[in-house]
């Protein structure tokens, strides 16, 4: 029975995600066609919400100041959110326009971003064409704003950039995060962009046009996923710019990773409750991006949980009824091996295609393909735990200082 059930889960997963195999082939064999556009320098506001980031924010601000984009065409704004360190002072010293916020009730990046946008509108009016969002631990490639501007001039009004890693080689955890993001860059957002579908942002490194997003109303624990899903529901296309590259610091301790991914898992549940019906309606309106987003937030999450609970239940029932459990164990082991091989091959393919982009030595690039499936697997117990606990937004501590020239 267990073998039959696990085979059925495998078949369902294959059917639901078969279109992503097409995504892989699209990303491997199709290149973006050059589109004619009228070049102009637009006015951008750079938005950074930071909480106790005095150790790293100067590197980001330096990389922003060193952009190839005309300096009179962008301004940098920092919201020091409930800070107890010198984040505000460091940001001011590096040329940013700084606001401070103290609110112990409305906690999270979504609320901070809302307040920052309100402050800018109050003090500067309607002078910016678009807004770019970054995290304090990021470092930007020197051509980041220029590449975003080119994409914007081509008529793209919400744009996700290419997220790379500052610390791929730190350990298997940081490498797991990094490979996951690189896979999303190449085999999800890139393919969606080439096919004219809506992409997804990943918390940092994105641009939105003020005419499309007038107010920031996304306050779940995963405001980035909520934003992406809401834009799909509104039939607003999120584009992708592979040449706008930033480097992000990834967690290195499992404890830190656990709490971050616990927040993500709880945030997914919030988004599922809030947007599932809207996405289903969008599917009925023949918008494939709505199916893609619904599949992303529900299918893998729910099927993994159902599979775990069902396997545990059947296993316990077999012990109670004195049934031979050896076939059950073999079935579970066979399923785990298949899952490991599938994730390994996906990580390997990502490593091969993004080889030059990965800032690590050859040894680490190869070794961490083997630990990538283990990193992905640790998400399952975290997702299950999220079903039963109340989760609050907790800031991730960043401490890795690195200059722009060291990651290029």
Residue range 211-219: mean pLDDT, rounded = 89
How high is the pLDDT of residue 313? 75
For a pLDDT cut of 70, what percent of the chain falls above it? Answer: 94
Residue 6 pLDDT class (50, 70, 90 cuts): low
CA distance 23 to 108: 33
Q: Are 387 and 305 in contact (CB under 8 A)?
A: yes
| pLDDT tens-digit readout, 238-277 | 999 999 999 999 999 999 999 999 999 999 999 999 999 9
CATH number of 44-272: 3.90.550.10
C-alpha distances in Å from residue 130, one per residue of 4, 107, 112, 168, 246: 53, 25, 18, 31, 18
| pLDDT at residue 315 greater than cutoff 60 | yes
Q: Taking 60 as the threshold, does the pLDDT of residue 1 lie above it?
A: no
Instruction: Please choose, from the candidates 82, 119, 77, 112, the residue with its C-alpha nearest in 3D space to the C-alpha of residue 96.
Output: 77
Over range 74-89, report the average pLDDT: 97
Average pLDDT, the chain: 91
pTM over 0.85: yes
> What percent of the chain clears pLDDT 90, i.e. is strictly above it?
76
Structure tokens, 185: 């860059």
Q: Each residue of 121-165: pLDDT tens digit?
A: 999 999 999 999 999 999 999 999 999 999 999 999 999 999 999
The C-alpha atoms of residue 193 and residue 190 are separated, in whole angstroms, by 5
> Which residues are bridge partners to 44 per DSSP?
74, 130
Higher pLDDT, 253 or 311: 253
The residue among 402 and 106 whose pLDDT is bigger is 106
């Amino acid at each position: 029975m267990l073998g039959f059930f696990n085979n059925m889960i495998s078949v369902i997963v294959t059917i639901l995600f078969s279109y992503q195999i097409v995504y892989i082939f699209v990303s491997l064999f199709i290149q973006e066609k050059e589109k004619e556009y009228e070049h102009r320098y637009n006015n951008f506001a750079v938005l950074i919400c930071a909480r106790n980031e005095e150790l790293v924010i100067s590197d980001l601000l330096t990389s922003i100041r060193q952009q190839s984009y005309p300096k009179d065409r962008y301004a940098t704004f920092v919201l020091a959110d409930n800070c107890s360190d010198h984040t505000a002072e460091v940001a001011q010293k590096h040329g940013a326009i700084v606001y401070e916020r103290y609110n112990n009730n409305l906690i999270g990046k979504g609320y901070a971003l809302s307040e920052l946008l309100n402050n800018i509108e109050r003090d500067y009016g309607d002078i910016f064409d678009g807004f770019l969002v970054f995290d304090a631990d990021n470092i930007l490639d020197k051509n980041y704003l220029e590449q975003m501007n080119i994409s914007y001039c081509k008529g793209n009004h919400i744009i996700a950039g290419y997220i790379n890693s500052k610390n791929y080689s730190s350990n298997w955890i940081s490498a797991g995060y990094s490979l996951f993001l690189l896979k999303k860059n190449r085999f999800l957002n890139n393919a969606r962009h080439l096919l004219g579908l809506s992409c997804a942002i990943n918390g940092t490194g994105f641009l939105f046009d003020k005419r499309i997003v007038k107010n920031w109303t996304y306050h779940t624990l995963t405001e980035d996923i909520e934003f992406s899903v809401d834009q799909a529901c509104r039939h607003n296309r999120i584009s992708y710019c592979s040449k706008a590259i930033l480097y992000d610091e990834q967690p290195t301790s499992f404890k830190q990773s656990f709490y971050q991914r616990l927040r993500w898992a709880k945030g997914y549940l919030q988004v599922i409750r809030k947007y599932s019906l809207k996405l289903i309606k969008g599917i009925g309106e023949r918008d494939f991006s709505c199916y893609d987003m619904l599949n992303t937030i529900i299918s893998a999450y729910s099927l993994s949980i159902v599979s775990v609970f069902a396997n545990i239940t059947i296993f316990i029932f077999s012990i109670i009824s004195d049934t031979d459990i050896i076939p059950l164990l073999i079935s579970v082991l066979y399923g785990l091996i298949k899952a490991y091989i599938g994730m390994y091959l996906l990580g390997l393919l990502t490593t091969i295609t993004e080889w030059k982009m990965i800032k690590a030595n050859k040894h680490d690039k190869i070794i961490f393909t083997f630990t990538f499936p283990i990193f992905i697997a640790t998400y399952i117990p975290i997702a299950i735990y999220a079903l039963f606990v109340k989760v609050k937004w907790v800031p991730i501590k960043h401490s890795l200082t690195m200059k722009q020239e060291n990651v290029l």
